[in-house]
Chain A
Amino acid sequence: MEVRFDYAKAAPGVPRALGGVEQYLHSCGLEESLLKLVRLRVSQINGCAVCVDLHWDENAFSVATQWKELRALGESELRFRGLDSWRRSPYSSNFSERERAALAWTEAVTLVANTNVPDIVYDEVRPYFSAKELSDLTLAIATANAWDRLSMASRREASLYPAAEPREQRRAS
């Protein structure tokens, strides 16, 4: 699959502008782990290979970095392997209730043209987030959707997932 164009080269202001939104999101108070989870789920729904590749990687390694154990890496892989079936047992127990609410919101908001983000989802989600948090979460979902649109429209090249290499070593190479 051929790359169509590199939007970052053609219009450097574009990733810079979205980067400004990311800067807000990473300081708005929402948990980084939640932001990463939502980011990955959006990319799965949209079918954005670049983004899934990148964010799977981020999720697997960031959790492993926190736990600092090779066995923890295996556990975190399991947690995210079930992400596209998060509603179903046994994968549902891998995610907290707040995370499940965020994932329900993610799906409804991402597929807004079909769902219209109905009351049934809003009522399910609202208890877990303040109005500010839900505003921020909605922006996070919208921003992930924006990156997906840029990557998919331009056929951005998906990097090959380097197997079992610590992130620090990959950065150095």
Chain B
Amino acid sequence: MEARFDYAKAAPGVVRALSGVEQYLRTSGLDESLLNLVRLRASQINGCAFCIDMHWKELRSLGETEQRLYGLDAWRESPYYSERERAALAWTEAVTLVAATHVPDSVYEEVRPHFSFTELSNLTLAIAAINAWNRLAIATRAEPGKYRVGQFQEQRRAS
């Protein structure tokens, strides 16, 4: 499957702009493991192969178990995610599919006890950001599979 074009080469400002959002999220205090579960789940919903590959690799490098990775798209039926993770995943699904769900009260009430408003604002931005990356990768048919953990930090340091 061929890439349509390489958006990072065509418009490096696009990568810089979105990376600025990720840089802010790294200061938000939200746990990296939680954020990566959220990113993986959003990428599954949107069908972004590039991002799925990137985020399971990130999660493994953080010590995530195979069971929790494989079980993620049936998290509701699975006992191995914490209440806070379940809340974050419910929020991820509702916010990712916003045109259909409009993020209903039932989900908000489920999620609210587990996150402060600050955390929920940051979590919503994180979900919005992965949705942005998913759209760029899918729209350009970015070639999945070659991601190496830490490669974007390397690129940032080199630039």
Contacts of B128 in A (CB 8 A): 18, 145-146, 149-150
A93 CB-CB contact with B under 8 Å: no
Asked whether A17 lies within 8 Å of B21 as measured between CB atoms, the reply is yes
* Whole-angstrom CA separation of A6 from B120 in the bound complex: 10
B74 CB-CB contact with A under 8 Å: no
B14 CB contact (under 8 Å) in A4, A16, A20, A24:
A24
Asked whether A20 lies within 8 Å of B17 as measured between CB atoms, the reply is yes
Number of interface residues of B (CB under 8 A): 49
Contacts of A5 in B (CB 8 A): 117, 120-121
Closest to B27 in A: A13
B7 CB-CB contact with A under 8 Å: yes
Contacts of B102 in A (CB 8 A): 47, 152
Number of interface residues of A (CB under 8 A): 50
A116 CB-CB contact with B under 8 Å: yes
A69: min CB distance to chain B, Å: 36
**With A13-B28, A145-B132 in contact, is A131–B10 under 8 Å at CB?**
yes
Given A17-B24, A24-B17, A135-B10, 11 more pairs with CB closer than 8 A: A4-B108, A5-B121, A13-B28, A14-B122, A23-B17, A117-B135, A135-B5, A138-B136, A142-B135, A145-B131, A153-B91
User: Taking beta carbons and an 8 Å cutoff, which residues of B are in contact with A?
Assistant: 4-7, 10-11, 13-14, 16-18, 20-21, 24-25, 27-28, 45-47, 91, 94-99, 102-103, 108, 116-118, 120-122, 124-125, 127-129, 131-132, 134-136, 138-140
